[in-house]
């Protein structure tokens, strides 16, 4: 219900279960449905908002709710996408924070602007995409992001961040590194992408190449690559609308070259991916599968039978259930391989503690 002192787009005591794809139960003290930048600015200046905790919410597809949240949840639902301009080398496109990312990719392809096809099918809102530098099938949004606009929720100032200032890494950005994604420091209102006009599809990635070869496609168009990836994703990943989940629950761990070599000696099948800056990335799904957790449940949660990396809620799970399974899987992987797994989703907890999220699951 609306609150007298606050604008009518703010309601109180809102059930967040439908707003997180893992379907964990929690309530928001205040819930603001943001449809425009003007609404956001009005809220930020409101005396009832100042000094309260806040959290910026997209589609909740990378989120673990650790319990009720007494502050403001700002649900970013700002619509809009447009072609801004072009020069000899690039086309510049904008997506407002609330645009569905995958629909935006489909729109670019339908408009004849290739580049983003490998990122089709990633759930979530455009405004959330830079937070963990979304990536899949050999591409990341940082390959294309030109700049983003954000509102500082403390000062009300509008800022532009150039891509080079966002400190992007593997599932990493300045926003995560500084903890701003947990403290609700900035709300990203728009992202601008820069797509090269001279574009060659990236179809060499193992699974894409195999799928194209199976279909007898030699020189795939961007639309064909998108089609293949959509089909692969639908086959491998459970649809949160049918089976609640938050996508990959653990990041692929990066270890030293020495440890990777020792592990590969003991386990010749272990997939290893040497990284440009040193170190080796291991496939977390493979490690989990070796411990026997793939397809196994613990209470109402489990690791998915097709994709060991995806933790699923089979119905009625609590945050405690998720914690228990996460711990069990991490301990099993550590005991077998001496490798620590780090959860990927963001944890929203009521008390502000140092990086509480990553350590409590």
Ligand X SMILES: Cc1cc2nc3c(=O)[nH]c(=O)nc-3n(C[C@H](O)[C@H](O)[C@H](O)COP(=O)(O)OP(=O)(O)OC[C@H]3O[C@@H](n4cnc5c(N)ncnc54)[C@H](O)[C@@H]3O)c2cc1C
Catalytic center residues: 171, 248, 344
- How many whole angstroms separate alpha carbon 140 and alpha carbon 211? 21
Q: Is residue 104 a contact point for ligand X (CB under 6 A)?
A: no
Which C-beta is closer to ligand X: that of 99 or that of 321?
99
Binding mask 272-311 for ligand X (x = CB under 6 A): ----------------------------------------
Beta pairing partners, 57: 75
141: phi > 0 → left, psi -120 to 50 → alpha, else beta; which?
A: alpha
Q: Which two tokens stand for residue 336?
A: 């077998």
The residue among 33, 40, 46, 38 whose CA lies nearest residue 2 is 33
Angle at the Cα of 108 (from 243 to 191), degrees rounded to 5? Answer: 80
Which C-beta is closer to ligand X: that of 144 or that of 186?
186
Q: Which listed range, 7-15, 125-133, 199-207, 216-224, lies at the site for ligand X (CB under 6 A)?
A: 125-133
Which C-beta is closer to ligand X: that of 175 or that of 337?
175
User: Are the CB atoms for 349 and 67 separated by under 8 Å?
Assistant: yes
Least distance in angstroms from the C-beta of 337 to ligand X: 24
Parallel, antiparallel, or unpaired: how do β-strands 254-255 and 244-248 relate?
unpaired
Q: In the window 126-165, what residues touch ligand X (CB under 6 A)?
A: 127-129, 131-132, 134-136
Q: In the window 4-33, what residues touch ligand X (CB under 6 A)?
A: 21
Q: In the window 32-71, what residues touch ligand X (CB under 6 A)?
A: 55-63
- How many whole angstroms separate alpha carbon 11 and alpha carbon 8? 7
Least distance in angstroms from the C-beta of 356 to ligand X: 13
Q: Which two tokens stand for residue 227?
A: 């089609």
Binding mask 217-256 for ligand X (x = CB under 6 A): --------------------x--x----xxx---------
Q: Is residue 106 a contact point for ligand X (CB under 6 A)?
A: no
Which C-beta is closer to ligand X: that of 230 or that of 264?
230
> Computed over its alpha carbons, how large is the radius of gyration of the chain?
21
Least distance in angstroms from the C-beta of 218 to ligand X: 26
Which C-beta is closer to ligand X: that of 190 or that of 321?
190
- How many whole angstroms separate alpha carbon 78 and alpha carbon 190? 9
Least distance in angstroms from the C-beta of 247 to ligand X: 2
Question: Cα separations (Å) of 83 from 87, 91, 107, 245?
Answer: 12, 8, 11, 33
The residue among 228, 234, 233 whose CA lies nearest residue 109 is 228
Least distance in angstroms from the C-beta of 8 to ligand X: 22
Least distance in angstroms from the C-beta of 28 to ligand X: 13
Which C-beta is closer to ligand X: that of 54 or that of 194?
54
How many residues bind ligand X (CB under 6 A)? The answer is 34
Q: In the window 65-94, what residues touch ligand X (CB under 6 A)?
A: 76
Least distance in angstroms from the C-beta of 354 to ligand X: 16
Q: Is residue 187 a contact point for ligand X (CB under 6 A)?
A: yes
User: Are the CB atoms for 324 and 361 separated by under 8 Å?
Assistant: no
Question: Cα separations (Å) of 100 from 40, 77, 315?
Answer: 19, 9, 26
Parallel, antiparallel, or unpaired: how do β-strands 10-15 and 27-34 relate?
antiparallel
- How many whole angstroms separate alpha carbon 194 and alpha carbon 191? 10
Residues lying near ligand X in the complex (CB under 6 A) are found at: 21, 55-63, 76, 97, 122-125, 127-129, 131-132, 134-136, 181, 186-188, 237, 240, 245-247, 346
């Amino acid at each position: 219900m609306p609150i007298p002192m606050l604008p009518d787009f703010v309601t109180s005591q809102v059930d967040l279960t439908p707003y997180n794809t893992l379907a964990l139960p929690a309530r928001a003290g205040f819930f603001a449905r943001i449809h425009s930048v003007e609404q956001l600015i009005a809220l930020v200046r409101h005396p009832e908002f100042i000094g309260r905790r806040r959290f910026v919410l997209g589609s909740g597809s990378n989120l673990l709710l650790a319990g009720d949240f007494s502050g403001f949840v700002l649900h970013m639902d700002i619509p809009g996408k447009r072609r801004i301009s072009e020069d000899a080398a690039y086309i510049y496109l904008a997506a407002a924070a609330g645009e569905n990312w995958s629909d935006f990719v489909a729109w670019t392809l339908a408009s004849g602007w290739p580049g983003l096809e490998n990122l089709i099918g990633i759930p979530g809102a455009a405004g959330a995409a830079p937070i963990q530098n979304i990536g899949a099938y050999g591409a990341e949004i940082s390959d294309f992001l030109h700049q983003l606009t954000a509102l500082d929720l403390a000062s009300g100032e509008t800022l532009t961040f150039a891509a080079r200032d966002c400190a992007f890494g593997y599932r990493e950005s300045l926003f995560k590194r500084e903890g701003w994604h947990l403290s609700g420091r900035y709300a990203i209102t728009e992202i601008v992408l820069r797509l090269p006009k001279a574009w060659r599809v990236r179809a060499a990635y193992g699974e894409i190449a195999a799928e194209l070869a199976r279909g007898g496609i030699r020189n795939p168009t961007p639309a064909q690559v998108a089609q293949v990836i959509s089909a692969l994703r639908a086959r491998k990943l459970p649809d949160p609308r049918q089976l609640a989940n938050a996508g990959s629950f653990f990041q692929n761990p990066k270890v030293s070259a020495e440890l990777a070599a020792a592990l590969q000696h003991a386990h010749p099948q272990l997939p290893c991916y040497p990284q440009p800056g040193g170190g080796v990335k291991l496939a977390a799904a493979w490690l989990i599968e070796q411990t026997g957790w793939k397809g196994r449940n613990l209470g109402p949660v489990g690791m998915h039978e097709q994709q060991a990396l995806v933790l699923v809620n089979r119905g009625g799970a609590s945050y405690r259930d998720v914690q228990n399974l996460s711990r069990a899987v991490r301990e099993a992987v550590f005991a077998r391989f001496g490798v620590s797994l780090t959860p990927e989703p963001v944890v929203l907890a009521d008390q502000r503690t140092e990086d509480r999220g990553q350590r409590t699951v």
